[in-house]
Amino acid sequence: MIIFCLKEDLNDANFIFSKEDNKVYEIQAKVFNDGTKSFFTEQNFENKTEIILYFKFKKPFDLYAFYLLNLLDYLSKQFVLKTIIVPFFPYLRKNHNFSSCLSFFDNFNFVTIDSHSNFPNFQSMHFKLNVPENYLIIYPDKGSFERISSFYSNEYIVLQKKRSDIIEFSCSEAFKIKNRKCLIVDDICDSGDTLQAALKYVKNFNPEKTEVYITHFLYEKELSSFQGLDCLYFCDTIFRDIHFSKLEGKYNLLDCRNLFKNL
């Protein structure tokens, strides 16, 4: 199989597609003054060769969304796109313009991790964390429970989230938190408001330990605002420039690339 990716994704692509019959090629890019790019390949292939595209988003997401749409347009004219692997897919829920543009490629097979919304022809996978049996899993809202709970057999509780000027939680089973090792599980953290509020709520019930697993951790500020956090787990689903020293040694970055090896 032939795999294409951008230069910054070469290491990931070579790791995922390490079998001898796979060949990974870099997509060349010409950068213009306004930051936009046009894409091309230096290799010559037979017309309509089947390929896979591996694409990892990087901030600013708006610009990389534009890159992806241009890549799909260019590659679909030259090749048969068998699969498009995008570990984290922003905007599927909130940006209807981006979703509408993707609908033009509805004959492609998109693969992602915890997509946070339903979308045609999307295969959404979950990177399952190895959670000890004695841990109580806490889902911060009904949505995270519906998307993730089927992967875990631990005892759990689901918080009720109320949005107003601030985020507040309630739960009739919160008494189970006392003296327990707890894991808050959610699929995305951006502003950090939900996680901060959930940690504050859980701390009121005196847990022995509070850990957090976020699939897509987009938050890039100091962790000092997350009071009561003992350890954070998150997946390497976006291309990052930040230094993880900002996270004060409380994080575990999870390598999710093996999820794509058997596609």
Distance of CA 253 to the CA centre of its chain: 12
Q: Do domains 2-125 and 136-260 have the same CATH topology?
A: yes
CB of 230 within 8 A of CB of 199? no
CA distance 122 to 36: 27
CA distance 116 to 125: 11
At 44, phi and psi to the nearest 5? -105, 130
- What average pLDDT does range 159-183 have in this prediction? 93
Given a cut of 80, whether residue 21 has pLDDT beyond it is yes
Q: What DSSP string describes the chain?
A: -EEEE-GGGHHHHHHHT-STT-EEEEPEEEE-TTS-EEEE-SS---TTEEEEEE---BSSHHHHHHHHHHHHHHHHHHEEEEEEE-S--TTTTT-HHHHHHHGGGTTSEEEEE--SS--TTEEEE-------TTPEEEESSHHHHHHHGGG--S-EEEPEEEESSSEEEE-TTGGGGTT-EEEEEEEEESSSHHHHHHHHHHHTT--SEEEEEEEEE---S-GGGSTT--EEEEE--SB--S-GGGGTT-EEEE--GGGGTT-
Given a cut of 80, whether residue 74 has pLDDT beyond it is yes
Question: Which tens digit of pLDDT belongs to each residue from 221-234?
Answer: 777 778 888 999 99
Question: Which tens digit of pLDDT belongs to each residue from 114-167?
Answer: 987 666 678 889 999 999 999 999 999 999 999 999 999 999 999 999 887 889
Q: Out of 165-169, 185-189, 246-250, which region has the weakest mean confidence (pLDDT)? A: 246-250
| Residue closest to 217 by CA, chosen among 197, 199, 244 | 244
- What average pLDDT does range 170-182 have in this prediction? 97
CATH number for the domain whose boundaries are 136-260 = 3.40.50.2020
- What average pLDDT does range 78-97 have in this prediction? 80
Q: In percent, how much of the chain has pLDDT > 90?
A: 51
Task: Give strand pairing partners of 31.
Answer: 37
Place of tokens 């230069």: 7
Query: What are the residue ranges spanned by the domains of the chain?
Result: 2-125, 136-260
CA distance 146 to 51: 33
93 pLDDT band, cuts 50/70/90, is: low
Architecture of domain 2-125: 3-Layer(aba) Sandwich (3.40)
Given a cut of 60, whether residue 243 has pLDDT beyond it is no
Amino acid at site 160: Q
Question: Which tens digit of pLDDT belongs to each residue from 36-51?
Answer: 667 777 777 776 788 9
Given a cut of 70, whether residue 189 has pLDDT beyond it is yes
